[in-house]
Chains A and B, each alone.
Chain A
Amino acid sequence: MEPKRLIIVAVGGQGNLLASHVLGEAALMSGVPVRMSEIHGMAQRGGVVESALVFGDAKSTIISDGEADLFVSFEPCEALRALKKCNANTVAITNTRPLPPFTAFIGRGTYPDLETVTETLKNKTGRLIAFDATALAEEAGNPMCLNMVLLGTLIGTGVLPITADSIREAIRTRTKADFVEMNLAAFEKGFARAA
């Protein structure tokens, strides 16, 4: 199978690693070859967390600049920071709910305005899906379900050879029992946004 490459970026604590694990487990269940790498050194101290997932026949576990087929950002400013992973054909998804870093409050740098973020992403990638995913997570019952909303959108694009059913199954078996219903609801909301 031709490799498909996915980059997920988030701020520590946003639940990106769980999303990538659910995705990996779903790939395993569907018999799709999958490899993943994570940089999460300081995830718990609010740094940036990046996961790379390579599906299909490739040995590498990391993704070079310009080589993401799919790109998901949990935070708009982080989408711009990691933009070099994309190329002109990349399908990009971003949450538009800002989580400004502390440095922006103490006058070290300015947080970009949202319009600039979405315009830049739109102009430079193949397709952009940008929306307030945190709001959908809140609707599903908990802002922490943000990861499942974005996972839904990601699967909804149809770029990956992974079915929504296998993700639902992975959510049932791999996420905390108390959260399963909420996670599934969040996944469906996100899935619908990809249309």
Chain B
Amino acid sequence: MHKLLTDKPGESMFLLGNEAIARGAMEAGVAFTSTYPGTPSSELSLNFFQMSRESDLYFEYSTNEKVSLEVAAAAANSGVRSMCMMKHVGLNVAADVLMTLAYVGVTGGLVILTADDPFMFSSQNEQDNRYYAKFGGLPMMEPSSVEEAKEMVKDAFELSEKLKRPVLFRTTTRINHSTSVVTLGELPARKTKGDFIKDPMRCVTVPAVSRGLHVKLLADLKKAQEMAEASPWNFVEGKGSLGIIANGVSYTYAADAVKDLGASERIKILRMGFANPMPVAMIKDFLKGCEKVLVIEEGEPFMEEAVKAFAQEEGLTLPIAGKDEKLFSRLFEFDPAMVRKNIASFFDIALDAPAPVNAQGVPDLPIRPPTLCAGCSHRSVFYAAKKACEGMDVVFPSDIGCYTLGFLPPLGMGDFVVCMGASSGTACGFSTVTDKKVVAFVGDSTFFHSGLSGLINGVFNNHNYTLVILDNRTTAMTGHQPNPGVDMTELAMENYNTVDIEAIVKAIGVKHVSTIRAFNVKKAIETIQEAVAFEGISVIIVKEKCALYAKNLKQLKGKPFQVNPDKCKNHMECINALGCPAFYVKDGKPGIHAHVCVGCALCAQACPENAIVPARSL
């Protein structure tokens, strides 16, 4: 049985934040869940996916975040408790639904989880999604710890049903990816079927309807604010005339710091958990009891600006600080020592902290960037594309997935990456205004997510580029989630269909389409050259399963290769051109780690001396 289905209320478990949130949602009786994967939210979905196979919970991997939220919005408008989760940038994709769904509301609880990523551990930006709550007029909750996240998510469902509005649940990486001891609660029965009661004056957002809906939304926000004033998730701890206002993990750093500084009698902390709309009266009250206030929040000055405005309304002139060159930055994540230091300096408290070791005498170290796995099909395609385009001036727009790593040396493939699906769209612009050839790369999951619309644009507007679809049969980067092209029977799962990329590409009118495997380098080079020579949109689909996914499915059959020392003339082409982690150099000679090599034979084709051969043949 899945561990999160353990029906032992009161038992303690050591759970990852994402597991704790999943458990909390189950304890709230969530019945319908949907997502498009994205770090740091992915394990949350994985747990729902697994639990859906053992229970009556519904879960789906949707094609993208917008679709995912639409699916959940309908379920929640049929009275079924639903949850939709995504990474922060996913909410940009879903924003169109979100902003008007806020007007329409829901009949069953809907919690939308946004997993923000300060410092961009695995993201292309570090946008602060609290602004979506303000922008859309959505109630928002923000936990500070793993334990709290589990309890708070239950309350988020209650709140959503009380207000009949979707609730935004905002986490950051350090909540999703922290692990703590959590106490299990009851698992209620789920209500998996609902009914949609037609209500066009609420559900059909023509202008005349929406004008009324916006009025109602603002009125509901007033109600929500009253709830925030009374919410136990907004609380004051400690005492004194110095004040801290903090949210999320910043609160934990502040609480530890106040204790470490021995200042619990001098500093009080207002913790914001029900974070939008803000509890204005509570904050004003807090300010009135303070001489000085420090606002501690990662990201943007979301609370700070509001708090300063509240002070102005009350005619309060106490110093209020937060984002400041000498205090907190809008960049990256915070840490306990930084928060302690800023609290000490702002409130003028003596600080005694251990000094980190100095870096003197530490030699420069070779960096250890993540690399494509040994046997990764993307490596072979990039190598072939580089060879195919040798001597040509080519722009290579790329996209988001494992293959983004191809931009690193030695492959160096990928010139422009902004967001998912942008390869096929940006290729249109590059090919129009430069005289260069354009070869764009997109993964299968990303193609379905939003790459398809750029390609249709290319066909319709008669652009001139080659799109290489790296169809590795999975969503690799985020942990091998299914996508519409995946054969679900391989995962022993029935009741799915498989969408054929080649059929789509042909159906939209692409005139030059080829489908190849990844590891026949000569064929790949020829195919790319032909496609690049074609005037108009050409598409190459490289159908080759992700090596790591194949390994997990126990389908990887290749045997390791070896460098034949008698034949090797030390050209180092294998080392310098491929960047494969199975290789090492010892005494100036290349070698292959047998336990890493999966036998893809790319290096054997790249070696000018044919010195790389299957290990057993030597």
CB distance from B572 to the nearest CB of A (A): 9
Q: Contacts A108-B366, A109-B367: A61 and B361 contacting too (C-beta < 8 A)?
A: no
Interface string of B318-343 (1 = CB under 8 A from A): 00000000000000000111100000
**Which listed residue (A35, A46, A89, A112) contacts B365, Cβ 8 A?**
A112
CB distance from A153 to the nearest CB of B (A): 21
Residues of A43-68 at the interface with B, using a CB-CB cut-off of 8 Å, are 44-48, 58-67
Specify the main secondary structure of chain B where it touches its partner: loop
A21 to B16 CA separation, bound complex (whole angstroms): 10
Residue of B nearest to A116 (CB): B363
A11 to B174 CA separation, bound complex (whole angstroms): 20
Stretch from A99-107, A129-137, A157-165, A175-183 forming part of the interface with B: A99-107
Are the CB atoms of B581 and A102 closer together than 8 Å?
yes
CB distance from A45 to the nearest CB of B (A): 4
Q: Contacts A36-B179, A61-B178, A124-B357: A46 and B371 contacting too (C-beta < 8 A)?
A: yes
Stretch from B22-30, B194-202, B251-259 forming part of the interface with A: B251-259
Q: Contacts A45-B373, A46-B581, A105-B585: A61 and B366 contacting too (C-beta < 8 A)?
A: no
Are the CB atoms of A21 and B14 closer together than 8 Å?
yes
Are the CB atoms of A60 and B252 closer together than 8 Å?
yes
- Asked if A188 is an interface residue, CB under 8 A from chain B, the answer is no
- Asked if A97 is an interface residue, CB under 8 A from chain B, the answer is no
Q: Contacts A28-B12, A48-B368, A120-B362: A38 and B179 contacting too (C-beta < 8 A)?
A: yes
- Asked if B575 is an interface residue, CB under 8 A from chain A, the answer is yes
**A residues near B41, Cβ cutoff 8 Å:** none
Stretch from B50-58, B133-141, B348-356, B427-435 forming part of the interface with A: B348-356
CB distance from B176 to the nearest CB of A (A): 10
Residues of B235-270 at the interface with A, using a CB-CB cut-off of 8 Å, are 249, 251-253, 255-256
- Residue in B14, B410, B579 whose Cβ sees the most chain A Cβ within 10 Å: B14
CB distance from B367 to the nearest CB of A (A): 5
Are the CB atoms of B410 and A65 closer together than 8 Å?
no
**Which listed residue (B145, B357, B361, B579) contacts A106, Cβ 8 A?**
B579
Q: Contacts A37-B178, A41-B121, A84-B357: A110 and B337 contacting too (C-beta < 8 A)?
A: no
Are the CB atoms of A42 and B179 closer together than 8 Å?
no
Q: Contacts A24-B179, A41-B39, A108-B367: A86 and B362 contacting too (C-beta < 8 A)?
A: no
A83 to B371 CA separation, bound complex (whole angstroms): 24
Total of A-B residue pairs, C-beta within 8 Å? 173
- Asked if B181 is an interface residue, CB under 8 A from chain A, the answer is yes
A157 to B63 CA separation, bound complex (whole angstroms): 51
CB distance from A72 to the nearest CB of B (A): 16
The interface size of chain B toward A, counting residues with CB under 8 Å, comes to 57
Residue of B nearest to A75 (CB): B368
Q: Contacts A25-B14, A58-B256: A100 and B584 contacting too (C-beta < 8 A)?
A: yes
- Asked if B548 is an interface residue, CB under 8 A from chain A, the answer is yes
A116 to B362 CA separation, bound complex (whole angstroms): 8
- Asked if A15 is an interface residue, CB under 8 A from chain B, the answer is no
- Asked if B32 is an interface residue, CB under 8 A from chain A, the answer is no
CB distance from A73 to the nearest CB of B (A): 12
CB distance from A126 to the nearest CB of B (A): 10
A105 to B583 CA separation, bound complex (whole angstroms): 9
CB distance from A112 to the nearest CB of B (A): 5
Are the CB atoms of A45 and B370 closer together than 8 Å?
yes
**B residues near A189, Cβ cutoff 8 Å:** none
**Which listed residue (B144, B181, B373) contacts A44, Cβ 8 A?**
B373
CB distance from B603 to the nearest CB of A (A): 13
A40 to B174 CA separation, bound complex (whole angstroms): 12
Are the CB atoms of A66 and B256 closer together than 8 Å?
no
**Which listed residue (B14, B180, B181, B356) contacts A86, Cβ 8 A?**
B356
Are the CB atoms of B366 and A47 closer together than 8 Å?
no
Are the CB atoms of B121 and A39 closer together than 8 Å?
yes
A77 to B367 CA separation, bound complex (whole angstroms): 10
Residues of A18-42 at the interface with B, using a CB-CB cut-off of 8 Å, are 21, 24-25, 28, 33-42
A24 to B362 CA separation, bound complex (whole angstroms): 32
Are the CB atoms of A100 and B366 closer together than 8 Å?
yes
**B residues near A111, Cβ cutoff 8 Å:** 366
A-B contact pairs, 23 of them (CB 8 A): A24-B14, A24-B179, A35-B180, A45-B371, A45-B402, A46-B368, A48-B368, A59-B145, A59-B251, A59-B253, A60-B252, A64-B336, A66-B357, A67-B337, A84-B356, A87-B354, A90-B357, A101-B368, A105-B583, A106-B576, A109-B365, A120-B361, A123-B361
Q: 19 new A-B pairs (CB below 8 Å) besides A24-B179, A34-B180, A88-B357?
A: A35-B145, A35-B180, A41-B370, A45-B405, A59-B255, A60-B256, A61-B180, A67-B336, A67-B354, A77-B366, A77-B368, A83-B362, A100-B366, A100-B584, A103-B368, A105-B585, A108-B367, A116-B363, A125-B357
Write the residues of chain A forming the contact surface with B, with a CB cutoff of 8 angstroms.
Answer: 11-12, 21, 24-25, 28, 33-42, 44-48, 58-67, 77-78, 80-81, 83-90, 100-106, 108-112, 116, 120, 123-125
Write the residues of chain B forming the contact surface with A, with a CB cutoff of 8 angstroms.
Answer: 12, 14, 39, 121-122, 144-146, 174, 177-181, 249, 251-253, 255-256, 335-338, 353-359, 361-373, 402, 405, 409-410, 548, 575-576, 579-581, 583-585
